[in-house]
Structure 1
C-alpha cells in the first residue's frame, strides 16, 4: 500500500493502466458467482468482498458495480476515498440516536438479494441495512458465523445491531451469538427476527443427506441442517421473534412433510425454546422474505418487539 501512495497512484475504477504490473481496474458489473464471494466489510451499501478461491478482493458499490480490486488494503483505501469525496455517512436511527445496523442473513444457496424488497423498507426507517452475502454451500456454519463476526468488528461506529435471517441464516446467527464477540463491548445487541428457520433441524435434509446430488449442491452446510447437528446450537440470549410459513390448516404445502409447512420447513421445525414471539403467515419458503406481510411483521419486531401491530 505504502509504495502506491508514495507514487501517487490511484486505484479508481476508471484507471486504464498502472505501473509495476498492477492489473487494470475497470468499472464493470459483477458476473454473478455469489457462492464464490464473501462480504468482508460493509458500509451503507458498499462492500469489500473476497474470492473464496483466488483470495483477491473487490470493492462493490450499492449497484453491484466493481469499483476496485486487488488486496483488502487497496479496496479499503478506495472505499475510504469514496466516503470522503462523496460525503457518505451512515444513517442515524432517530429512535436510537445512533447507527442501528440491521444485518440480514440469507439461507443456503441464496444471496443477499433475498432481501431486495425488505431492505428499502428498513432503510426508510433510518436504519442501515447490510444484506450479507456469504458462500453458503462452501463452508460450515461456524465459518459463516466467523465471517459475520469479522464484519461487525470492522464497524466500531455502529451503536446497535439487530438481525433478520432467512432459513439457515437463523442457525448462523445462533452460532454467532453463542460465542465471545468483541463487537459487543461497544455495540448494543438488538432483536433477532428469524424467517422460516429450521431451528429443530430439517427432516428433508435428514432424508437426503446421503444423496450425492444433495451433497454436491448443498455442500458442507447442507450436512449441518439435520436435526442431530442443529441440536448442538445454543439458543440466543436476546429477544427472538420467529415467522414461519404455512397454511394454518395442519397440512401445509408439502404432502411429504408432517403437519403445517412452507414447502421446506415445517412450523414445528421453526420453533425455538424461549422465543418471545411466534407467527405463522401463508407463503412458500423461498418467497417469504419478499412478502409484504412478512416484511411488515419483521420491521415491527425489530422496532417494538411485537410481530403484529
Structure 2
C-alpha cells in the first residue's frame, strides 16, 4: 500500500464522477470493508450434536458475531443461518450447531485444558464499521504486554445488522464473564455507538450490570457523520455500509436518543490528518478523512486529545497505544494538569 494518498476534486462540472469516486475510496477503501464466504446452513435440528471436525476458518468477518468470548476462544453466531460455531485462538472451528451444544463443548474444553476463569479487571475491545477484530490487534497486544488487564476482542457483523442488535450481542458477551471484577472498553468508530447503546439499554431496563472501569473512544461519531449524510441517498453506498451505517446517515436523530452518555470516566481520541499529505474534499474542518474532530466530541468526557492519524489506522498509532493505557490506568491521556474535559 502506498505511504501517501492524495484525494482531490477539481473542476466538478467537468469531472462529474469525482465525488462518488472519492466517497467509495473513503467509505470502502479506507474502512477496510470486505466480506467473506458464508458457511453452509446446518441441519434444521440444531439441538443434535454435530460432527466435531476441526476446520480452519477466517475467524468471522461480516457474517459472524461473537456471543461468548473466553480468553481466545469464542462462540459465534452466523447472521444469515443463525447457527453457532466454536473457534479457538487460531480460528479453527471445533464444533457447530446450537448455542447450547457449543456452550457444552466449551465447558468441557475449559476442564480439559485447565483454562483459568476470567477474573479481575477486563478490557473489551471493539472494532468499527466494516472491520474485524483483527483491525484492533496492535492495540490489543500493546495493552496485553504493558498492563495486567485481561484483554478481550469482540467481533460483530457490523454491516449486517443495526446498532441495537450489536449492543445485544455485547450484552451477551459481558454476561459470559460474570466473575470479572471490572469491565472497561476501548472502541473504534462505530464500536463506541454500540457501547453507548448497550449502556442505554442497561439504564432504561434497570439492569444491574458489571462494575464499569473507563472507556477510551477512538474516532467516535458521537455527533453523527456529515460524510455519511452526504451519501445517504446512494443505494450503492448504503448497501456497502449496511443497517448501522444507514442509521448514522439517515436516522441519526432517532439513534442519538438511544445512546447513553457513559456514567463512568471516558476519554475521546480524535484523529486529524495532515492536509499536505491527505485530503478529503468532502469534509470541511479538521478531520481524519471520515469523521471530523467536532463530530467526535461528547459532553461529559473526562479528557479529549487530537492525534495526527487518519480514521482507518488511528488504533495502530503508537501514541494512541500509550495514551489509551494511561487513561485506563489514571483517567487522563497526558497528565492531570493537561486534561481537556468536555463540560456538559
User: TM-score when scaled to structure 1?
Assistant: 0.85
* CA deviations over 1:148-207 (Å, ceiling 9, x no partner): 111111221111110101001111111111222799746211101000001111001100
Q: Would you say the 8 A contact 1:252–1:262 is kept in 2?
A: no
1:152 is aligned to 174
Change (3 A) 1:304 1:287: same
Q: Would you say the 8 A contact 2:60–2:132 is kept in 1?
A: no
**Number of equivalences:** 284
Gaps of 5+ in 2: 1-47, 336-344
Change (3 A) 1:158 1:33: closer
1:241 is aligned to 267
Q: Would you say the 8 A contact 1:199–1:230 is kept in 2?
A: no
1:22 offset after TM fit, Å?
Answer: 5.4
* CA deviations over 1:124-146 (Å, ceiling 9, x no partner): 32222221111111111111111
Whole-Å separation in 2 of the counterparts to 1:250 and 1:235: 35
Corresponding position: 1:175 with 2:197: yes
Q: Would you say the 8 A contact 2:222–2:298 is kept in 1?
A: yes
Whole-Å separation in 1 of the counterparts to 2:59 and 2:136: 17
User: TM-score when scaled to structure 2?
Assistant: 0.77
2:326 is aligned to 300
Whole-Å separation in 2 of the counterparts to 1:32 and 1:303: 30
Change (3 A) 1:108 1:269: same
Q: Which stretch shows the higher mean deviation, 192-201 or 70-79? A: 70-79
Change (3 A) 1:54 1:145: same
Q: Would you say the 8 A contact 2:271–2:287 is kept in 1?
A: yes
1:231 is aligned to 256
Superposition pairs for residues 153-232 of structure 1, below 5 Å? 153-180=175-202, 185=208, 187-226=210-249, 227-232=252-257
| Greater length-normalized contact order (CA 8 Å, ≥ 6 residues apart) | 2
Whole-Å separation in 2 of the counterparts to 1:63 and 1:205: 35
Superposition CA RMSD, Å: 2.4
Change (3 A) 1:230 1:246: farther
1:86 is aligned to 113
